[in-house]
């Protein structure tokens, strides 16, 4: 029997304690949580109790956790603008890494993380856990079977996203700070971006988008409508805070498949209901049970994600979502912001010496955004009128 991987978690926010800790605890043959780090004493103590650790196993300073020889894997659960230094240091210490999504707020930071992991010979996985939702697995298999023919379009609607605050002990509204979050609802829910590209089966090379704030005066977008170009294939990704429609549709040369959710709502808040497949032979409902409610669904998907990471480490192969794939997803998302600001399609990958790669969405302040851009009028991402 393989010795369990020893895990240290950095960040004791809601996602870490509600989902990451239980995911590892559900796989005792694969993992053992041996340490935590968080600069907020009350969150650290709550994490210690949740993980069942001693006071000596938890740290206010992440550097102390990274320096420990009894840690094999570092799980980074901090806000994205803090990921780079932690991941680079963990890789330098010879630790494998699982990083929460998005991989970073700035593509340059993500690229540094990928390079650090490659140089150290460690696995860098990213929490793109929606890849493990049962209906996504079923859609992937359906596409692979050839029943739909060649994929032409994929639509991912997530217009009913809940604007969940962060942990009260840190900064509950950090997701509305473009410097910390790297964007608004699209960045927070870039699950839709990687799902569309995954189902398209081809890399995104260009993005066009419309974005707008949900509330006047907000610094980030609450609505994003995106078109992802992938050769002769295209993805439509619509994401917004509110009560809008949700669902996934795949259209191929021989048929279509549609994942339906309760009351046409947005995953994962609205549970999956059924998967319909339509071809020249007619319409059928796939043999797939109805989905779980939010908590159990995310718990299972995160369990499957960390299980996939363990397999990647043991087999010395890439996980389902590695650092390079997550960097591409991040660049695609930043390109959507640039497209909305410039009013044109933006190519992916972004030039590595350009402000968008270096600074992410804040790099919009250093490119020639038209004076009449709607993003300027809205004051999004630090843009101002008359600049």
pLDDT, the chain, mean: 95
pTM of the model: 0.95
314-345 tens-digit pLDDT? 999 999 999 999 999 999 999 999 999 999 99
Provide the pLDDT for residue 172. Answer: 56
Domains and CATH numbers, the chain: 5-129+312-322 (3.40.50.720), 130-311+323-387 (3.30.360.10)
The two tokens of residue 215 are 């509330």
The whole-angstrom separation of Cα 101 and Cα 19 is: 14
Confidence label for 1 from pLDDT (cuts 50, 70 and 90): very low
Query: At residue 252, what are phi and psi to the nearest 5 degrees?
Result: -120, 180
233 and 242 Cβ atoms separated by less than 8 Å: no
Listed in order, strand segments (DSSP E) in 242-348 are: 246-252, 255-261, 272-279, 282-285, 346-347
Provide the pLDDT for residue 167. Answer: 55
Q: What's CA 334's distance to the chain center, in Å?
A: 13
- Tokens 């927070």 map to which residue? 188
134-158 tens-digit pLDDT? 999 999 999 999 999 999 999 999 9
The two tokens of residue 164 are 């969940």
pLDDT average, residue stretch 8-14: 96
pLDDT average, residue stretch 39-66: 97
76-107 tens-digit pLDDT? 999 899 999 999 999 999 999 999 999 999 99
Rounded to the nearest 10 degrees, the angle between the axes of helix 191-200 and helix 323-342 is 110
Provide the pLDDT for residue 179. Answer: 86
């Amino acid at each position: 029997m393989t010795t369990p991987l020893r895990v240290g978690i950095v960040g004791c926010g809601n996602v870490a304690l509600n989902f990451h800790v239980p995911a590892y605890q559900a796989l005792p043959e694969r993992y053992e949580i041996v340490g935590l780090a968080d600069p907020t004493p009350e969150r650290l103590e709550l994490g210690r109790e949740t993980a069942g650790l001693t006071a000596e196993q938890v740290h206010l300073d992440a550097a102390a956790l990274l320096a420990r020889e009894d840690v094999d894997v570092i799980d980074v659960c901090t806000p994205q603008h803090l990921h780079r230094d932690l991941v680079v240091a963990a890789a330098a210490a010879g630790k494998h890494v699982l990083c929460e999504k998005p991989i970073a707020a700035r593509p340059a930071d993500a690229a540094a993380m990928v390079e650090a992991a490659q140089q150290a010979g460690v696995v860098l996985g990213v929490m793109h856990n929606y890849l493990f939702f049962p209906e996504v697995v079923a859609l992937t298999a359906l596409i692979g079977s050839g029943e739909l023919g060649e994929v032409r379009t994929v639509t991912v609607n997530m217009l009913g996203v809940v604007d969940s605050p962060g942990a009260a002990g840190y900064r509950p509204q950090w997701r509305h700070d473009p410097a910390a979050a790297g964007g608004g609802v699209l960045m927070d829910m870039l699950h839709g971006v990687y799902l569309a590209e995954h189902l398209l089966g081809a890399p995104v090379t260009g993005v066009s988008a419309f974005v707008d704030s949900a509330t006047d005066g907000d610094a980030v977008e609450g609505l994003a409508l995106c078109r992802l170009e992938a050769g002769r294939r295209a993805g439509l990704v619509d994401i917004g805070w509110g009560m809008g429609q949700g669902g996934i549709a795949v259209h191929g040369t021989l048929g279509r498949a549609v994942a339906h959710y309760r009351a046409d709502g947005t995953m994962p808040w609205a549970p999956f209901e059924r998967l319909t497949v339509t071809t020249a032979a007619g319409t059928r409902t796939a043999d797939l049970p109805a989905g779980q409610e939010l908590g159990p669904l995310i718990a299972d998907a995160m369990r499957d994600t960390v299980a996939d990471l363990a397999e990647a480490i043991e087999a010395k192969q890439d996980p389902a979502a590695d650092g390079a794939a997550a960097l591409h997803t991040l660049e695609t998302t930043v390109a959507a912001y640039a497209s909305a600001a410039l009013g044109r399609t933006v190519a992916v990958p972004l030039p590595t010496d350009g402000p968008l790669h270096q600074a992410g969405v804040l790099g919009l302040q250093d490119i020639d955004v038209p004076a009449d851009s709607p993003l300027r009028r809205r004051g999004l991402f630090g843009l101002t009128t008359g600049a």
